[in-house]
């Protein structure tokens, strides 16, 4: 029997961020990942603490962003892979009212950290933004396919990655932990994203997967280096390629590409872009969202079994701090903020 401190199920951003806590504290662990569906792999990668529609920072925005930036920079150094892109995030003003709201909001001291007050004029004739842009401060982008590839290689090389599906029915509770095949562990962390719904240890009904679709578009003329937020995000990735999206499809739990998604996003591109482009792909994924739109951390009825889930639309921003909160709960008994504690749904 191999003796471990932790088994992690899932190596999306939740699993990766938790592993980094284990590494920093020299814990023994392995990670299971079936490489099946991952929200992290299809995410636009925008790390953004603002709700741009309402010009509000998200809950605990400063704490999340102040943890996320050094976390990803540290990971970039450790993996020796360029995963952090310092890309401007510009909101296109569709109306004079939106422009005015931006100026008013950015005047408040609480917003200084997030909104640049000056209106930026558009100089790119291929982009439709006659009223200019507002720039969001403290944002950046993560190349998520590259992050997953590099991190899984790192885990594999250190003998910690088990590239197969974790079969929940084979996990048995013992007097001092759990046994899974030839592994003995004190703790199990389920970081399974939307697939947690297949997990028999997860007994709640508060996770609602939210499908999102992107179009991948090529345009040699567009020459835009910033991420633009118009009706949807338009995110430059590499070599004249842009991700446009992502949609929010309520009640569609399939991974099928939809005509509706494509049409909605094509309309958005036509609003934002004035030069020729070609659609090269359509991508979709499931955001693990929670009924009350807060993450889901901690333990239900079985000591030693923990969930790190509900990262919703901002997993990249939130995972570094959430994983630290969960680690501190397990190892030091530090209480979680009640807003994210999974027990809020367990009555
Ligand atoms: C279209 C789209 C765009 C998005 N854009 C952004 C964005 O720009 N910025 C942002 O911050 N967030 C974005 N998000 C949200 C973000 O992707 C998620 O919040 C985050 O990736 C969730 O990470 P996770 O680790 O919880 O889940 P996942 O990334 O889904 O990882 C779960 C992993 O667990 C594995 N797994 C599950 N069950 C098992 C099992 N039994 N055995 C083995 N392996 C298992 C899966 O294969 C998967 O690899 C987007 C999401 C979508 C869908």
Both 307 and 258 in one domain: the answer is no
Both 219 and 282 in one domain: the answer is yes
Residue 110 lies in a domain: yes
d(CA 124, ligand 1 centre) in Å: 34
290-320 pLDDT, tens digit each: 999 999 999 998 789 999 999 999 999 999 9
195-219 pLDDT, tens digit each: 999 999 999 999 999 999 999 999 9
pLDDT over 70 percentage in the chain: 100
Number of independent structural domains in the chain: 3
Residue 251 lies in a domain: yes
Q: Which atom of ligand 1 is nearest to the CA of 210?
A: 53
131-158 pLDDT, tens digit each: 999 999 999 999 999 999 999 999 999 9
For strand 183-190 and strand 2-9, is the pairing parallel, antiparallel, or unpaired? parallel
CATH label of the domain that carries residue 269: 3.30.9.10
Q: Which of 252, 269, 290 is the last residue of a domain?
A: 290
Both 226 and 193 in one domain: the answer is no
Both 188 and 319 in one domain: the answer is yes
Q: pLDDT band for position 235 (50/70/90)? A: very high
d(CA 126, ligand 1 centre) in Å: 33
Residue 253 lies in a domain: yes
Both 169 and 316 in one domain: the answer is yes
Residue 347 has pLDDT above 80, yes or no: no
Residue 57 lies in a domain: no
Is 317 close to ligand 1, i.e. is its CB under 6 Å away? yes
Both 212 and 286 in one domain: the answer is yes
Is 10 close to ligand 1, i.e. is its CB under 6 Å away? yes
Residue 257 has pLDDT above 80, yes or no: yes
Residue 309 lies in a domain: yes
Residue 339 lies in a domain: yes
Instruction: Tell me the mean pLDDT in the region 85-95.
Output: 95
Residue 128, domain extent: 89-138
d(CA 334, ligand 1 centre) in Å: 26
162-190 pLDDT, tens digit each: 999 999 999 999 998 999 999 999 999 99
Let me know: does 309 contact 340? Beta carbons within 8 Å.
no
The pLDDT value given to residue 299: 96
Is 315 close to ligand 1, i.e. is its CB under 6 Å away? yes
Element of type H or E holding 30: strand 29-32
Residue 7 lies in a domain: yes
Beta strands in the chain, from DSSP E residues, in sequence order:
2-9, 29-32, 46-47, 50-51, 56-57, 84-85, 89-92, 133-136, 140-142, 161-162, 171-174, 177-180, 183-190, 207-218, 227-229, 233-236, 241-245, 278-290, 296-298, 305-309
């Amino acid at each position: 029997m191999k003796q471990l401190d932790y088994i992690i199920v899932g190596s999306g951003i939740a699993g990766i961020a938790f592993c980094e806590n284990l590494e920093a504290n020299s814990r023994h662990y392995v990670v299971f990942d079936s490489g099946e569906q991952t929200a992290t792999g299809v995410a636009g990668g925008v790390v953004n603490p603002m709700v741009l529609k309402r010009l509000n920072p998200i809950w605990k925005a400063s704490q999340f962003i102040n943890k996320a930036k050094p976390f990803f920079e540290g990971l970039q150094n450790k993996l020796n892979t360029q995963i952090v892109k310092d890309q401007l995030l510009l909101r296109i003003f569709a109306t004079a009212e939106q422009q005015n709201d931006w100026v008013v909001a950015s005047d408040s001291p609480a917003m200084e950290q997030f909104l640049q007050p000056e209106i930026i004029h558009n100089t790119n004739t291929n982009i439709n933004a006659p009223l200019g842009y507002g720039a969001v401060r403290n944002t950046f982008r993560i190349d998520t396919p590259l992050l997953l590839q590099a991190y899984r290689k790192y885990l594999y090389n250190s003998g910690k990655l088990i590239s197969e599906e974790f079969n929940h029915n084979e996990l048995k509770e013992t007097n001092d932990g759990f046994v899974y095949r030839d592994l003995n562990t004190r703790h199990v962390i389920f970081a399974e994203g939307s697939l947690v719904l297949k997990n028999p240890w997860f007994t709640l009904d508060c996770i609602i997967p939210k499908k999102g679709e992107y179009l991948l578009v090529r345009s040699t003329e567009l020459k835009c280096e910033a991420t633009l937020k118009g009706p949807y995000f338009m995110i430059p990735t590499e070599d004249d390629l842009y991700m446009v999206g992502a949609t929010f499809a309520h009640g569609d739990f399939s991974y099928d590409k939809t005509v509706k998604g494509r049409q909605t996003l094509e309309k958005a591109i036509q609003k934002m872009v004035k030069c020729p482009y070609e659609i090269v792909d359509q991508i979709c994924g499931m955001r693990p969202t929670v009924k009350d739109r807060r993450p889901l951390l901690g333990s239900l009825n079985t000591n030693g079994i923990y969930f790190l889930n509900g990262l919703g639309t901002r997993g990249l921003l939130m995972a570094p701090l959430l994983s630290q909160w969960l680690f501190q709960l397990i190892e030091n008994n530090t209480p979680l903020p009640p807003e994210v504690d999974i027990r809020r749904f367990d009555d």
